Each structure stands twice: as structure tokens, then as C-alpha cells.
Amino acid sequence: MGTTDLRRFAWLSIAAAIATITLKAVAYSLTGSVGLLSDAVESIVNLVGASVALVMLTIAARPADEEHAYGHTKAEYFSSGVEGTLILLAAASIAVAAVRRLLAPQPIEQVGVGLAVSAVATAVNLAVALVLRRAGKTYHSITLEADGQHLMTDVWTSVGVIGGVFAVSMTGWLRLDPILAIAVAANIVRIGWRIVWKSAHGLMDTALPAGELEAVKAALASHLGEGVQYHALRTRQSGARRFVSLHVLVPGTWTVHEGHALLEDVEARIRAEVPNVTITTHLESLDDPRSYYDDQLDRRDPPPPSVADRDVAV
């Protein structure tokens, strides 16, 4: 998918954040609920996160160049990492405001109108979250996936806040409002940490997901009955881009043409199973002992020749 199309999703997220900030701020001003305030603060985080996502998606879509021969797709991990960190900071600010209100409870006013406005904002977030999550999975974008996950968390947060504020109005127990805000902050921490953790794993060249890795191995297994072996299989993901490298061992009597034809078929099968994949293959001979010393990340040194071998060499 092109750069412009992915940026359109980011612009949609920005528009939704601006709309929900406005609506939730109105809801808070009408009611004075710290729970609704916490909801509005999270929407501000949504706006910052969506803005960062727009920048990072633009960078990630740049073509490979001399300084970035493997492309710029890893930029998406910075976006999701920033968004996860912002979520954690928002949770801290919500918790501080909630504790203050817990120590000094205040009545909630105009509950009906305030909750109606907040419900509209929640509906906007729900619609956009579903679009972003679907786009993230379809186009393998961790940025859109993280943004959609964040918005969906905001939706459930808003549902809880709305229910809590309504319960306060029915029971008159004012401390229920800040208690609910603290619970919201705890949930936000959980989601934020998960996003940060996933981003860190991406920056550390984590292997492909189990399903995609199995698909790669299945494509290779289809050739194993032809006297072919493979080793040094390594995979990693960089945003929407996947990378697969491996060594394919064939009988030493094969011609270059036969070996190349095999590699072309192997690579075609892997590309059919794994999207956005770059494959690097290395052809080796089953009959050459040196083929078995480079199956690790660092090449192993072959054992020194025996005395008999040295005598033969002389």
C-alpha cells in the first residue's frame, strides 16, 4: 500500500482525536467529573500519538537509499514506542488528579448532558479504532495497529467512566468517581506497557510470528526429499517488512543452473506465504565440509587438520 494511503489513516486518527478532545472537554466542564477529565487527558495523548504516527509512517514509506539499504520501515517502532510512553505518562497524570479528588470529593453536575456528550465522543473513537485495527492487520503496520489498540482502550475506558459517573449520580457516593479514574489509569498502564514492550522487541530484530515462521519452514520442507538440506535460517521483522535468510545445501554434482532454479522456486514459495518479505539465500554444496561451519550467526572455525591429513598434504 502506498504512503499516501497509510497517511490517510493517520489523518483520520488525528481528526478523531481533535473531535473527542473537544467533546470530552465539554463533558468535563459540564459535570466536573475527574473521571471524564481522565478520559479527556487520554484523548490529548491520542492526538500526540496520531501526530507522531503520521510523521513515522511518512518516514517508513521512504525507499531504500545508500544509508538505509534495508529501507526505513523500522521507523514505525519509534512511533508505537512513543505512543506507549505517552500512554504511561497520561496514566500518571490521571492518577495524580484522581488522588487529589479522592482526598477532596466534589459533586458532579449536569450528569445527563455531560454523559450524552461523552457517549458521542466514545462512538467516534470506536468507529476509528475499528478502522485502524483492520488497516494495521491488513497492511502489517505496527503503527496503525498500536494507534487502533490505543483508541480501543480509550473506548473501554470511556464506557467505564460513563458507567461510573452515572453510578455516582444514582448513589451519591462522590469518591466512586476518583476511584474509577484510578482504575482507568491502571488499565492504561497495562496497555501502554504492552505497546512499549512490542516496540522494543521490534527494534531488537525479533523473529517472525510463529505462523509466518511455520509457513517459511513448510515452503522449505517441500524440497527436502530431493537430496536438499538447509540451515542458518534466520528471520526478522522491521515494521511491515519481513526479512528471511538461509543457506540451501545441494549435491555437489548439481550445476549452477540447477541450484539457481531451486533457489528461485524456494523464494517464490516463501513470498507466496509471507507478505512484504525480502529473502536472501546462499547456495552451498553438501559435499564441501566448509558448508557446515557457517550455520551459526558467527562462522565457526574448522578443526585443525590431523597429523595424517598434514602428511597427505605434504
Q: Which residues contact 254 (CB under 8 A, 6 or more apart)?
A: none
Closest CA to 153 of 115, 184, 131: 184
Q: Tell me the C-alpha distance between 208 and 202, whole Å.
A: 10
Q: How confident is the model at residue 113 (pLDDT cuts 50, 70, 90)?
A: confident
pLDDT digits (tens, 9 = 90+) for 176-235: 777 877 887 787 788 778 778 877 777 777 888 888 899 899 888 887 777 889 999 999
Q: Which residues contact 269 (CB under 8 A, 6 or more apart)?
A: 219, 222
- C-alpha distances in angstroms, 212 versus 85, 173, 208, 219, 274? 29, 52, 6, 11, 6
**What is the dotted CATH code of the domain comprising 3-203?**
1.20.1510.10
| Rounded percentage of the chain residues whose pLDDT exceeds 90 | 18
Domain ranges of the chain: 3-203, 210-313
Cα 152 from chain centroid (whole Å): 15
Do domains 3-203 and 210-313 share one topology? The answer is: no
Cα 134 from chain centroid (whole Å): 13
pLDDT at 308 over 60: no
pLDDT at 246: 94
Query: What mean pLDDT, rounded, does the chain reach?
Result: 80
pTM assigned to the model: 0.64
DSSP reduced 3-state for 130: helix
pLDDT at 282: 93
Q: How confident is the model at residue 111 (pLDDT cuts 50, 70, 90)?
A: low
Q: Which CATH superfamily is domain 210-313 in?
A: Cation efflux protein, cytoplasmic domain (3.30.70.1350)
Alpha-helical regions (H) of the chain = 3-31, 34-60, 75-103, 111-138, 142-171, 176-203, 210-221, 256-273, 307-313
- C-alpha distances in angstroms, 93 versus 41, 140, 155, 179, 186? 8, 32, 19, 14, 12
DSSP reduced 3-state for 96: helix
